[in-house]
Structure 1
Amino acid sequence: MGKYEHISKARLEEYRLVADDPADAVIEAYFPDQKQALWSIINGLEDNGSNLAPEALPSLQHLYEQMQQEAKGFSVSLLQQGQAFFNAHASDIMLLLGLLSLPYCYAAANGAEVLVRSKRIVEEPERRLFETAEFVFDVSAKGAFGPKGKALPQLLKVRLMHATARWYAKRSGSWSVKEWGEPINQEDMAGTNLAFSLIVIRGLKKLAKKPSSKAALEYIVYWNCIGRLLGLHEELLPKSNKEAYLLERNIRERQFRASSAGQQLTSSLLKYFEQATYNSPIKGKSQAFVAFLLGPEVARLVGVSTSRLDIATFQPYRWFFQLQAALNRRSDSYALALKQFRKASALLKP
């Protein structure tokens, strides 16, 4: 296993007690009295070339400057490779984020505890999906890390949202660090980063797309860049496909189990999918589709109960995807996926 051998399960246990000190320092400085001022400053950042408002406190200035410096060190060619991968599979990736990546994350019982405490996630899963989609589009666009890109403001916002969730969870009186670790800790963040990279690649294979090992690694490395700016420690950023596989396996074996929190989150998501797919080819079968993508064991953990017959109905879909791929009949692109997203998101606006 080479130099990745030290990411053992014991080491991951240590990471459950590590959060994100620079981001937490910002929230401690602004909360609770100045939280509106903080979000006003964050929402004022239009692109990577924007500067923080002069009244930003030192902790916020330090964090953003740190992120800017980190981003300047990224290889332009590596960023372009990751963006090209997204562009080639954009529509499928966005589909997989909702039907696979999110319920996969909910199978991590300890991590699900902090998520289920957000009424917005449980009661408005569509908002969670669309906010996640907007984030992924912004950080995956061509030039996302250039002066006019939007990656840095989005990443800063998400990083501080994580810190906000930690602040509230630890003051709720019901959070047990001993039982669950720090809210949104390093192990949970590493698992989520893999859900948006490695697990998406596995999902593409289930849709009969066959990205090469090289292309798969390029996308994982791209999400390493994103993970680094979200506060993930270098040790938790896999440098090869094998390292990604080993890290995902260790986290899954440590954290995946049935839980009421994970099942509640998944149930809320599935109810939305049933409504959203009413006029689609998978009307009434979105639950079976999720089970097909997750696999029987993970589906069971998050409470997706379908019969083998239900899941088997997706084999014809798989053959259809294979035929599409072989004949090259369906093109995909960032622009096409973004157009579909904007059309769908417009329906959410009051």
Structure 2
Amino acid sequence: MTYTKASMDALRQCGDELADATVATLFERGEVGTFNTLMRYVSTAGAPLPDGLPEVAREYLHETSAPPSWVDWGEMEKARLFFIDNNVHISTALSFASMPACYVIPHVARLLSATHSLQYPSKRMAETGQFTVYLMQPGAFEAGSRFIPAAQKVRLLHASIRHHLGREDRWDVGRLGTPICQEDMIGGQLLFSLLVLDSLHRLNIHMSIDGAEAYFYAWRVVGAMLGVDQDHVPKDLEQARQFFDLYMTRHMGPSEEGVNLTRQLIDLYEEVVPGTFFDPVVGALIRYLVGDTCADWLQVPRSPWDTLAAAVPTMLGVLESIEDSSPFGAWALDRLGHFTTLFELSTLTRGRVMHYAIPETLKKDFGVTSAVPRTHRWTPPAPTVAF
């Protein structure tokens, strides 16, 4: 599949027909409040739906209650093992590469500013971390899991944002296309898959080709469940590189919202780390992973730690070598990564389960150990455009 400016422009005009129609009906009938209240009690797959749930929501939940028929469960298991082996590194990449990369796309930064409270800046990171943990649990798609209900709710959340911005004439569709359009949804899928793999490679994390491809595949499944049109989504990492490079060069740039969101992200992680001595490490990691140009757009502060950040891959390479050569070392590091991820998620969520609800209004100030062998180490596909 070849992506062009014209094909990307066409994707900017498309939303998610099923979720958009569901949300529109809920608002037309005044049933959003009822839906949000009752759906707080629906957090696991296969649970009986509550009495009184609006019929249009019941139909949507039934239609979206299963993963796509084409899922390869062997690949999904490889992805789960890859996540177990690299969970703390994946969390680092999501926090310090994927999220800042979202902020460097001005219209995405504006959307995030519109839908996430400035008084609770950890909400976005908490939701993303929790969603990923749900996805990589054994039985994520079986009865009793939390992943499918979370995906169903996130899909409706995106549709509600499109509904609000379209109804209230607070989005320049002619210039920006449909809010959270198919191009942005595919771009977001790649920010959480391809860019994470790129970041792990930059951090000198040992990845097998099978493991990297399986992780990417798992996010293709996620995209399908979030309403991404599978006729246009990249099917492999080579196609993903082409799409991602074109997407970023089309849209990335500085914005006030991107600067504010980045400052919130840095402040959040500086609070997580005790004391102040290591505070500059957060900005240094972001700058190392996204590059100086993007970091400058986001006004990531410079510090002497920027030079030391370049030594992180060497240190991680030593730890990876220990893990490769020692079964006990592998077990110990996997346990450490597991508990570190849980600690981070617990801190971000304040120990609570995050609930994904349809916002009835937007913010008023919105201005528009692994069984996967480590042989055949993965390297990222080469860039397709010059940055």
SS at match of 1:273: helix
Matched residue type, 1:332: D
> 1:101 is matched with which residue: 98, 101, 111?
98
Alignment of 1:336 onto 2:332: no
Q: Is the 8 A contact 1:99 1:290 kept in 2?
A: yes
Shift of 1:321: 1.0
SS at match of 2:343: helix
Matched residue type, 1:290: I
- 196-205 or 259-268: which moved more? 259-268
What residue is the counterpart of 1:167 in the other structure?
Answer: 163
What residue is the counterpart of 2:123 in the other structure?
Answer: 127
What residue is the counterpart of 1:115 in the other structure?
Answer: 112
What is the CA deviation profile of residues 320-345 of structure 1, one whole-angstrom value per residue up to 9, with x for unaligned ones?
Answer: 11111112245225843553245424
Alignment of 1:8 onto 2:10: no
Aligned equivalents of 1:255, 1:277: Cα separation in 2: 33
Matched residue type, 1:276: V
SS at match of 1:269: helix
- 16-25 or 105-114: which moved more? 105-114
Q: Is the 8 A contact 1:9 1:251 kept in 2?
A: no
Aligned equivalents of 2:5, 2:265: Cα separation in 1: 30
Matched residue type, 2:100: P
What residue is the counterpart of 1:146 in the other structure?
Answer: 142
Q: Where in structure 2 are the equivalents of 1:250-269 lying within 5 Å?
A: 250-269=246-265
Aligned residues: CA RMSD = 2.3
Alignment of 1:313 onto 2:308: yes
Aligned equivalents of 1:343, 1:21: Cα separation in 2: 35
> 2:88 is matched with which residue: 86, 91, 94?
91
SS at match of 1:31: helix
Q: Where in structure 2 are the equivalents of 1:212-291 lying within 5 Å?
A: 212-279=208-275, 282-291=278-287
Alignment of 1:197 onto 2:193: yes
Q: Is the 8 A contact 1:105 1:191 kept in 2?
A: no
- 10-19 or 220-229: which moved more? 10-19
> 2:289 is matched with which residue: 267, 286, 293?
293
> 2:318 is matched with which residue: 318, 323, 346?
323
Q: Is the 8 A contact 1:18 1:185 kept in 2?
A: yes
Aligned equivalents of 2:22, 2:92: Cα separation in 1: 34
Shift of 1:105: 1.0
Q: Is the 8 A contact 2:281 2:309 kept in 1?
A: no
Counterparts in 2 of 1:280 and 1:318: CA distance versus 1, 3 Å: farther
Aligned equivalents of 1:123, 1:186: Cα separation in 2: 30
What residue is the counterpart of 1:42 in the other structure?
Answer: 39
- 58-67 or 149-158: which moved more? 58-67
Q: Is the 8 A contact 1:109 1:259 kept in 2?
A: yes
Matched residue type, 2:89: D
Counterparts in 2 of 1:232 and 1:339: CA distance versus 1, 3 Å: same
Structure 2 spans left out of the alignment, 5+ residues: 324-328, 353-387
Aligned equivalents of 2:265, 2:315: Cα separation in 1: 26
Which of the pair has the greater relative contact order for Cα pairs under 8 Å at 6+ separation? Answer: 2
Matched residue type, 1:318: P
Q: Is the 8 A contact 2:266 2:283 kept in 1?
A: yes
The alignment covers a number of residue pairs equal to 343
Report the identity percentage: 23
What is the CA deviation profile of residues 184-229 of structure 1, one whole-angstrom value per residue up to 9, with x for unaligned ones?
Answer: 1111111111111111111111221021232211111110000000
Q: Is the 8 A contact 2:287 2:300 kept in 1?
A: yes
SS at match of 2:65: helix
SS at match of 2:93: helix
What residue is the counterpart of 1:59 in the other structure?
Answer: 56
Matched residue type, 1:95: T
Q: Is the 8 A contact 1:191 1:251 kept in 2?
A: yes
Q: Is the 8 A contact 2:104 2:294 kept in 1?
A: yes
SS at match of 2:242: helix
Structure 1 spans left out of the alignment, 5+ residues: none
